[in-house]
Amino acid sequence: MTLFRHPRDRIPVLLFFTAFALDLTVYFTARSWWLPILWLALWVIPKGWICAWNHHHQHVSMFRHALPNRLLEIVFGFQTGATSHGWFLHHVLGHHRNYLDQEKDEARWKRRDGTAMGEQEFSIITTLTAYPRAFSVGREHPRAFRIFLGMGALQVALLGLLFWHDWYNALWVFLLPMCVSLYVTVWATYFHHAGLDAAEHTHASYNIVHRGYNLVTGNLGYHTAHHARHGLHWSQLPALHAQLSRDIPVTLYRQPGIPFVWSGAEAQIELSPGEVEPLAR
């Protein structure tokens, strides 16, 4: 029996562990003050993409067994700032259940007075409250909460060991990228939902169908499909989007961010089933 739930996760997981090995190499070998800073700058965008895959893992775990999943979540924790089951509690059991209700949504983009937050306001507030809100949701889900607390303590202990060994490299190679990546993850939520006060899935998310963007984010751009069936594996989202596309308003398609916006025009926004089928395969 294969170790993976879905064979398509093999290459992404290999890339995540390779990226983590590179982080460790820089951490243990860098002797110049500027190299860890340069490393952070070079990996800001790629680690933002890894955040999308951590998100997918929180919905559909990549391994069949707990031990390799927990090991992967430690790696994800150092790369994205979202520790094991933290995003599962905040995002899967919180945001996905409540995102149509801005009074309950754990990633709510409305202020208490009903007006919409600005992009930076939302991103800062939601980043700072991410773990408290995950903690709040966790009290209603004891099993996941225990894993969240235990793995969180382990993550902090490992980060503490890294700081004890070399605080400067630990700061630039691990802690600051963790903070930046968590912020990027939150910002992406704003990008997908802010301003859409809707009662139906097909009207509550923006979509990005740029092929390059979806290649590196695991089809995160098919966000309506993701919210319609959040337990669906990332590789199956284009096919579901094709089924839902006739009900998605044309105004709910967006350009991707940097660097894909530099490549020019958006890919065709309404994909026919014939165009989506190869992506689904």
Over residues 44-103, the pLDDT tens digits come to 999 999 999 999 999 999 999 999 999 999 999 999 999 999 999 999 999 999 999 999
Average pLDDT value for residue range 98-125: 94
For 274, the 3-state DSSP assignment is: helix
Side chain identity at 61, as an amino acid letter? S
Give the integer Cα–Cα distance in Å for 83 and 104: 23
Q: Could you read off the pLDDT of 231-251 as tens digits, one per residue?
A: 999 999 999 999 999 999 999
> Which residues make Cβ contacts (< 8 Å) with residue 148, sequence separation at least 6?
83, 84, 85, 86, 88, 89, 134, 135, 138
Give the integer Cα–Cα distance in Å for 152 and 206: 32
Q: Rounded to whole angstroms, what are the CA distances from 217 to 18, 21, 97, 159, 160? A: 17, 21, 22, 26, 30
Q: 260 falls in which pLDDT band (50, 70, 90)?
A: confident
User: Which residue pairs from 135-140 have beta carbons closer than 8 angstroms and sit at least 24 positions apart in sequence?
Assistant: 135/89, 137/89, 137/90, 137/93, 137/94, 137/106, 138/85, 138/89, 140/93
